[in-house]
Structure 1
Amino acid sequence: MDTSALARNGRIEVERAARGSVTKGAAKAGLAARGVIYLLVGLLALQIAFGDGRQQADRQGALEEISHKPFGAVLLWALGIGLVGMALWRLSEVVFGGAGADGCSAKKRLLALGRCAFYSFVAYSVLAFAAGSGSGGGSGDEQSRDVTARALELPAGQWIVGAGGAGIIVAGVWIGARAVMRSYRKHLRLGEMSPRMRRLVDITGVGGGAARGVVFAAAGAFAVRAAVEYQPDEAKGLDDTLRSFAGTPVGPGLLACVAAGLVLFGLFSFAMARWRKV
């Protein structure tokens, strides 16, 4: 057998492994870990809506909440490892393509690359927190202000921050619209689900995705405002963005609705872990 044939066969074996049970397990673990984080963030935001705002409603707050539970350290390590699985799954989509007819398109691979980078950072911050050498990446609000301040100091910094904020707004609208249109269904093994389960998944997928989109869009709007006013403090992370909903004319009721939506998205992530095509 010549060298080219050996290389081709080797690539086939690697691709088969990438699409096999190991990658499927990594995807399931990652989606479940994402679900835990969103579920806890939503519950913390609900506490804020009902007058108990002592804990941050972001990833940092979720990690601290877990750390105070029995076997919290074990749960944190499991969460971090699950997020590593998410990053590896997305990396496999970059290299070998994802599920579906358009899984190998350049657009899908680029999206997978961005998700891989994001979840790599999140996994690192969670593992650093579990190891006691970090703080879960720190407060999202502080990070947002620091990054915005540094960006505004660059040449054309206002335009950079404004464009970034506009991009986040577009992403939020895209996330919400896809959820309302139930685009997630093409990624699910619907044939394995009962009609009742499909309805429940639609409730969590539509409600959760819409709430997630609203949060993204609001965070983007604050970034645009920070750029226009040249005020880094106007940029907000997840916690401050959620708290801002309570300051609207609708009051804490709007925050409660968005928080409930994030809880739904956490539950939807668990459903994706069970029925997602990989």
Structure 2
Amino acid sequence: MNARVLAVTGRSRVRRAANGSAAEGAARAGLTARGVIYLLVGVLALRIALGDGDRQADRGGALAELSDKPFGAVLLWALGAGLVGMALWRLSEALFGATGKDGHTVRKRLPAAARCVFYAFVAYSVLAFAAGSSGSGSGDRQSRDVTARVMELPAGRWLVGLAGAAIVVAGVVIGVQAVRRTYRRKLKPGALGPRTRRLVDVTGVGGGVARGLVFAGAGAFAVRAAVDYDPGRVKGMDDTLRSFAGTPLGPWLLGLVAAGLVLFGVFSFALARLRRV
């Protein structure tokens, strides 16, 4: 009985440590880093919409833009460290549960684990860029190369199609959740005054819808690549954004989506301050 009590007490202490100030600092640093990337990608996409873009509107382009700034190397390392914090925060949620009444359910832990893997990869690519590696490269080219390798596997075509469909669903969910303002459930109680609430809603809804559109568009191109059995149909973030300019609305739609990504960057900054962790 004593051993059981000690085990339970030990797990509780580990959980409190995971959800303590270290995890909170990692989460807020990660959200800030995410905001920087989306803000820069949005600005680069706006330049493309205005016909003045000479860089790709994706993570690689954002990192190159940041590296050109004063103390660019320091900023890149700080950005990578923030994304490591994001990955560790999601790992703590996967292992010990997230905030909220259902935060310890499998339904919440599995997405946290997936986000941990995703942000660990993003953090690695940013740190590799900061260290002078050319491994980050073009996101569009990387997407096509990975798709080509997957298609060589048994049932690879189906895997690409299912992955694309999952990304489309994720994009729709992101957009719907933004419109429904479900992010409010994760904010600190009483943290929103009238002006802050308006700022969070404008950036959260506009940014979330734009982000959802980009996800859904990229997923749709992956599904098409699977149907046509052509890895060249896959598009990364830059090509997906540029494809909006090819619609009947032309550069106007690209400009709106780009502005939405800027809003999502600002929304991430707001979450870094206001989110419950």
* Range of TM-score over shorter length: over 0.9
Shift of 1:190: 4.5
1:142 equivalent in alignment to 2:134: no
Q: Give the corresponding residue for 1:262.
A: 261
Contact preservation (8 Å) 1:125, 1:134: no
- Shifted more, 58-67 versus 3-12: the winner is 3-12
Counterpart in the other structure of 2:58: 58
Give yes or no for the alignment of 1:86 onto 2:90.
no
Other-structure match for 1:109? 109
**Structure 1 counterpart of 2:232, which letter?**
D
| Matched residue count | 277
Would the alpha carbon gap of residues 146 and 27 (structure 1) be closer, same or farther in structure 2, given more than 3 Å must change?
A: same
Structure 1 stretches lacking a partner, 5+ long: none
What CA distance in whole angstroms lies between the structure 1 residues aligned with 2:168 and 2:117? 20
| Stretch moving more, 267-276 or 182-191 | 182-191
Q: Which residue of the partner structure matches residue 133 of structure 2?
A: 133
Deviation at 1:89, TM superposition (A): 0.5
**Maintained 8 Å contact 1:66/1:76:** yes
Identical residues among aligned pairs (%): 70
- 1:49 is aligned to 49
Q: 1:225-267, CA deviations, whole angstroms, 9 ceiling, x for partnerless residues?
A: 1111111111000000001111111110000000000000000
CA distance in 2, matches of 1:14, 1:98: 14
2:93 and 2:156 map into 1 onto residues whose CA distance is: 33
The corresponding residue for 2:233 is 234
Alignment of 1:190-229 (within 5 A): 190-229=189-228
Q: Is the 1:190–1:198 contact (alpha carbons within 8 Å) kept by the matching residues of 2?
A: no
Measured after TM superposition, the shift of residue 58 of structure 1 is 0.3
Which range moved further: 12-21 or 167-176?
A: 12-21
- Aligned-partner residue type, residue 67 of structure 1: S
CA distance in 1, matches of 2:105, 2:134: 37
Determine the structure 1 residue equivalent to 2:184.
Answer: 185
- The 10-residue stretch of structure 1 (189-198 or 238-247) with the greater mean CA deviation from structure 2: 189-198
1:217 and 1:131 mapped to 2: Cα distance?
32
d(CA) in 1 for partners of 2:152, 2:22 = 45
Q: Secondary structure at the match of 2:133?
A: coil
CA distance in structure 1 between the aligned counterparts of 2:61 and 2:132, rounded to whole angstroms: 15
Who is 1:244 aligned against?
243
* Separation of aligned partners in 2, 1:8 and 1:230: 53
Conserved 8 A contact 1:83-1:119: yes
- Contact 1:58 1:238 (8 Å CA) reproduced: yes
Question: TM-score when scaled to structure 2?
Answer: 0.97
Distance 1:246 1:267 in 2: 24
Deviation at 1:53, TM superposition (A): 2.3
Task: Note if contact 1:140-1:238 (Cα within 8 Å) is conserved in structure 2.
Answer: yes
Q: Counterpart of 1:185 in structure 2: which amino acid?
A: R
Note the alpha carbon deviations across 1:196-227, whole angstroms, 9 max, x for none.
11011000000000000000000011111111
Greater shift in the superposed pair: 160-169 or 253-262: 160-169
Does the 8 Å CA contact 1:162/1:223 hold for their aligned counterparts? yes
Task: Quote how far apart the aligned CAs of 1:109 are.
Answer: 0.2
1:99 alignment partner in structure 2: 99
